[in-house]
A and B are shown apart, each in its own frame.
Chain A
Amino acid sequence: MDSFRLRDVAHWLAGAAILLGCERLGRTISEALALPVPGSVLGMLLLLLALMVYGRVPRGLAQVSEQLLRLLALLFLPAAVGVFYLRDLSAQDWLGLLAATVVGTLVSLTLCALLLARLLKRADREGVDD
């Protein structure tokens, strides 16, 4: 039982090390080449590539990632609290923000859905023709 637990912990640590290592690597590459892409996003793409080559997701990595993503709202809480301290926005800014988020989001969501529905229908039809 004990050794089983220990192995789990080792898996988790390995998973956490993979995440930290990929982030570091992505950051280093982004800085070294002065890329405009955020280092963490580069790290994510590196990990995705590695997982595709490897063929499956190691158990420890899957578990650590799941936990981390479950806590996502906690991680960006400090940044979100800053919303209550926004002072230098004009009424016009607020109006623009509100309209852009509400109207903009619903317009682009609808257009996306209509486009995909049409494309899928066409793809399905071609699939039948084959």
Chain B
Amino acid sequence: MTELLHSPLFALPLNLCAFLLGVAIYRRSGTALLHPIVGASALVAAVLWLLQIPYADYQQASGLLYALLGPAVVALAVPLKQNLAIIRRAGWPLAVTLAVGALLAPVVAVVVALLLGAAKPVLLALSGKSITTPIALALAEKIHAAQSLTAGIVVFTGVVGAVAGPPLLQRLNIRDHRVLGFALGINAHAVGTARALEISALCGAFAALAMGLCGALTAIVLPLFLAP
């Protein structure tokens, strides 16, 4: 029995059920605060705790999902290609904002955490906070940041940006959907892109473009500074 509980035969259906429930809760609630990953991860953690399955065993049994993260990163090239035409129209302002934003997001976060006296593992995990999770996890491996902490920070960052971003920018009188989408894509990656798609297709396209480019740019530049 315990052998079964510690095998992929249990872990994979558990992940799938938790994911579907997480999606259902998210749809029903209609707020980005309950992003599918929030409900799903709490559910899995509760089941693991109830059945006393060590996290390491569950993690190992979920190997198939980890193996698919790499191809998922590659798959990001497809929406990127489909939205690349935007660059030709909006041109250099996007390129400049992308370069500044990709730098600003990790630097502001790390400086804030540093001022409050956070330890080095926290700072490392924070450096990938604004890029989409599969790239952030690949990056965490390269710069030796804790994967779980990175995943948690990335998801939370996305939720904060997606929930508070649009009303904040509206208050600042920024109503251009191109601007809103691009800012969400750079700072709140996939969660922000999903929110942007709800606002308008134009907003969503700018967010998807920003998310892909920002992820690639950060993954190329950051290890140059942080790789041991």
With a cutoff of 8 Å between Cβ atoms, the chain B residues found around residue A14 in the complex are none
**Secondary structure class of chain B's binding surface, majority of residues:** helix
The interface of chain B, by Cβ under 8 A from chain A, is 11, 15-16, 18-19, 22-23, 35-37, 40-42, 44-45, 48, 55, 58-59, 62, 65-66, 68-82, 84, 90-94, 96-97, 100-101, 104-105, 108-110, 112-114, 116-119, 122, 126, 129-130, 132-135, 137-139, 141-142, 146-153, 155-157, 160-161, 164-165, 168-169, 172, 174, 176, 178-180, 182-184, 186-188, 190, 215-216, 219-220, 223-224, 227
- Distance of A27 Cα from B67 Cα, bound (Å): 13
Given contacts A38-B139, A43-B70, A97-B153, contact A105 B187 (CB under 8 A): yes
Can you spell out 13 A-B residue pairs with CB atoms less than 8 angstroms apart?
A: A38-B141, A48-B80, A74-B40, A77-B37, A77-B62, A80-B41, A104-B109, A104-B129, A105-B187, A106-B161, A108-B186, A117-B179, A119-B96
Whether A78 and B105, one on each chain, are in contact in the complex, defined by CB atoms closer than 8 angstroms, is no
**Secondary structure class of chain A's binding surface, majority of residues:** helix
With a cutoff of 8 Å between Cβ atoms, the chain B residues found around residue A102 in the complex are 160
Given contacts A97-B126, A101-B109, contact A78 B134 (CB under 8 A): no
Whether B82 and A22, one on each chain, are in contact in the complex, defined by CB atoms closer than 8 angstroms, is no
Number of inter-chain CB pairs below 8 Å = 315
Which residue on A lies nearest to B217, using beta carbons? A41
Whether B41 and A81, one on each chain, are in contact in the complex, defined by CB atoms closer than 8 angstroms, is yes
With a cutoff of 8 Å between Cβ atoms, the chain A residues found around residue B22 in the complex are 73
With a cutoff of 8 Å between Cβ atoms, the chain A residues found around residue B134 in the complex are 40, 72, 75-76
Residue from A39, A120, A122 having most chain B Cβ neighbours under 10 A: A120
| Range for the number of chain A residues in contact with chain B | 35 or more
